Structure 1
């Protein structure tokens, strides 16, 4: 098998081979690095398994470099890692594993290469290349992983029920690999995922969410979310998403399937942005539709206020999924709350005031919001899609024009609360807020110019209505 490695990688593997020979241990390049090299996928991680002490081998390899790189090692797990400029190499002794029913943490014992390959999650990850003198460079493929790569199939080396019961996270990994690589999960393997879905409950939320994020960053995230739904995993790990599924009809009037609409929106966003959090905003943009769904006689289905309800749901969802409760969450929440605003601006006779308000509310996230809004157009009617996109281009032009003239993005009114308090001898309180809000609204509505002089005069006028006079 011809696997194309760089000169730097070949240089490293020769050093590992020489160090292994001197220690009298057999060593093998194994797992993801081998898989990705065969596929032609970029990789910066290499795993070395040896029939001996992985930590000792790591130190022996490090000592063959000048300067000697740091060896990070973990005695409890028997692993060690060397970070080079373009590659991270992990060393571990070959092992066999056994699991208890209520934990995905295995009991580990030293083992053979065969034992180590048996414990791998999928055939495509069980490939090994010998670094030993007698058969250096030989591909060792006991489960026909190479054939599965050529056929683009994900399946387990051993019986799938055993593989997924031992470590249920492998069910998420199967779907993640299928999504990243655009592979198909073998029928028996997918049936086993469906049968073992409840086992995912013993896996920590952090590990589950890590897999979700990798699915989200895939070229076509919808593949993974659809598999999660069809396997029954999604109903357990993220039931609010499942609530979007299905279309209901009354008196012949129905609504679109908001689950599959959402998946299309994520894919549309993925075509234009690699931003993980913009993709999460796409996933959650309609999450408020199920609790706001109503049927109105003579009118049909409505989802009034779903953007507001969805915005309120975002922090709870982020907390449950152990996603970051910081500016990333606030970014997603903002886009969920604002995702209908640009649509209203596609109508005729939209005022500059409405444009200013959107610029003010979206701030630096206006471009991300517009990507999301364009992605939200998923009609099968090509004429309708083209018309909506043309309308959005007009909105984008208006946004640019108003921003150029008013500089309203990330804008703060020229009169601050401190100025108001100093001018009228006030302490923080309701009156200060009333005047400050009035100035902001007047500028956004175009009643006064966006400068200090106009704002100061308007401040005095508004204060007079509250029976306030400037200090002398």
Structure 2
């Protein structure tokens, strides 16, 4: 049974591990046998290491292969240049040389260790001499296994196979030493829990909690990359919960634990923290229908962050109720600040923040009272994020009241149907005024300037309010607006 089909709680059998490894090594034989022989002929060791070995034991397949070698980077480069179709050395400072051979992507790294200076954001790289030493410096025992090639001897000095069978994450040595060497490994513990559905050894959790502040020396970009992998994993709740429980989230995503003490007046059975995790999971459930089953970071992260404005906007009223007025707008600003701090791209930041700001818009729809004009504005404001807004809005319903949930679902079904109908009739996705800028200038006899922009905005509002018009109708409306404007009266529309 492949890992994708096996329940996370079901233990692995040793016989299944052995069969999975044998099958995968046979599949990748054209790479490991040939490349292993080339390194051996050059007098050096080569071993398949880390994730590819772990995934082979889980029945997963990948054409991205990582190797460790006794050869120094210049020797590795020479061997790969004579074997691969293309090569690269962006990781040379870490001892890594990469290449592509047909459909295979290969990276070979010199035996090494990574240690952090207490005040440095970047690890120092020291080359090692043995495979066992290299494995001992890796993050977790399930990633500290290797297969020597071309002989295919399995090296498992730290019990990775046993931990894999028990679905637990442990460090090869003391977790305090591992996390001191590379604090980012604490984030990786949460990421692998989310990716594999594994539990984390209590000693590892304890060390993460005690050493959480150590993560502050790691660069924002490295933290961001781990966070993205966690969010995109099959079980992000596991990883996020671990970050919050250990205090790591206070450093990397403080907005998340801040939700834990806030009660949501719409979801009294759970706090906003639990609600947000549930919304994330419900957004993931829609990926098959909306995105062809592919994980979508923007919709997932927007689901997680959509209520982060609530702590700052919470107000207690005299009648005992609680309000969170404008938490959508405040939340969008908080989200932007966090994503900028983590060095996300401008496009990703804009997309997530737009969704956070718009996530309440549907609740003004009532039972379908919106005019066609309001529906057009909903589509215009969502822009390229309309599908993701559909995902977030539907995911945001976490009520246990089946009747209420069914009513909200039917109401949003109605809104989507109206959007589809209007889109077919009016091309809503590319909605524009019925006259362009050149036509406006010709009709009004004006030159480029602010007045053209005013006229354009009038025509756009007219288009949204009343739908498409013929050129003659649009011209008449524009001239009437211009006449009122010229007379100093507030223009119509």
- TM-score, length-normalised on structure 1? 0.90
How far the C-alpha of 1:241 sits from its partner, in A, is 2.5
The change in CA–CA distance for 1:254 and 1:79 in structure 2 (over 3 A counts) is: closer
How far the C-alpha of 1:452 sits from its partner, in A, is 2.1
Report the 3-state secondary structure (helix = DSSP H, G, I; strand = E; otherwise coil) of the residue aligned with 1:445: helix
The change in CA–CA distance for 1:182 and 1:438 in structure 2 (over 3 A counts) is: same
In the alignment, structure 1 residue 277 sits paired with structure 2 residue 293: no
How far the C-alpha of 1:328 sits from its partner, in A, is 2.5
How far the C-alpha of 1:205 sits from its partner, in A, is 0.3
Work out which of the residue numbers 106, 109, 112 in structure 1 matches 2:130: 112
Q: Report matched runs for 1:443-462 at 5 Å.
A: 443-446=463-466, 449-462=468-481
Q: Confirm or deny: 8 A CA contact 2:96 2:107 kept in the other structure.
A: yes
Equivalent residue for 2:204? Answer: 189
Write the distance in 2 (CA, Å) between the matches of 1:460 and 1:206.
54
Equivalent residue for 2:312? Answer: 291
Write the distance in 2 (CA, Å) between the matches of 1:342 and 1:75.
51
Deviations, residues 203-225 of structure 1 (Å, cap 9, x unaligned): 00000000010011112322221
Deviations, residues 293-330 of structure 1 (Å, cap 9, x unaligned): 111222611111122222333432221111001x3222
Write the distance in 2 (CA, Å) between the matches of 1:249 and 1:345.
21
Q: Confirm or deny: 8 A CA contact 2:368 2:411 kept in the other structure.
A: no
Write the distance in 1 (CA, Å) between the matches of 2:372 and 2:34.
67
Equivalent residue for 2:3? Answer: none
The change in CA–CA distance for 1:240 and 1:428 in structure 2 (over 3 A counts) is: farther
Deviations, residues 152-178 of structure 1 (Å, cap 9, x unaligned): 101100000110111100000111011
Equivalent residue for 2:140? Answer: 122
The change in CA–CA distance for 1:55 and 1:30 in structure 2 (over 3 A counts) is: farther
How far the C-alpha of 1:61 sits from its partner, in A, is 5.5
Equivalent residue for 2:223? Answer: 208
Runs of 4+ with deviation above 6 angstroms: none
Work out which of the residue numbers 303, 328, 342 in structure 1 matches 2:348: 328
How far the C-alpha of 1:401 sits from its partner, in A, is 1.9
Gaps of 5+ in 2: 1-17, 288-294, 489-493
Q: Report matched runs for 1:241-280 at 5 Å.
A: 241-248=256-263, 256-273=270-287, 274-280=295-301
In the alignment, structure 1 residue 375 sits paired with structure 2 residue 384: no
Q: What is the RMSD computed on CA atoms of the aligned residues?
A: 2.5
Deviations, residues 225-261 of structure 1 (Å, cap 9, x unaligned): 11111110111122223222223599xx969522221
The change in CA–CA distance for 1:276 and 1:451 in structure 2 (over 3 A counts) is: farther
Deviations, residues 41-66 of structure 1 (Å, cap 9, x unaligned): 23232222223435424533653x4x
Q: Confirm or deny: 8 A CA contact 2:373 2:465 kept in the other structure.
A: yes
The change in CA–CA distance for 1:427 and 1:291 in structure 2 (over 3 A counts) is: farther
In the alignment, structure 1 residue 93 sits paired with structure 2 residue 125: no
How far the C-alpha of 1:25 sits from its partner, in A, is 2.5
Write the distance in 1 (CA, Å) between the matches of 2:452 and 2:77.
66
Equivalent residue for 1:47? Answer: 66
Q: Confirm or deny: 8 A CA contact 2:80 2:87 kept in the other structure.
A: no
Count of residue correspondences: 459
The change in CA–CA distance for 1:206 and 1:439 in structure 2 (over 3 A counts) is: same
Gaps of 5+ in 1: none
Deviations, residues 302-359 of structure 1 (Å, cap 9, x unaligned): 111122222333432221111001x322222221222112222242433222112212
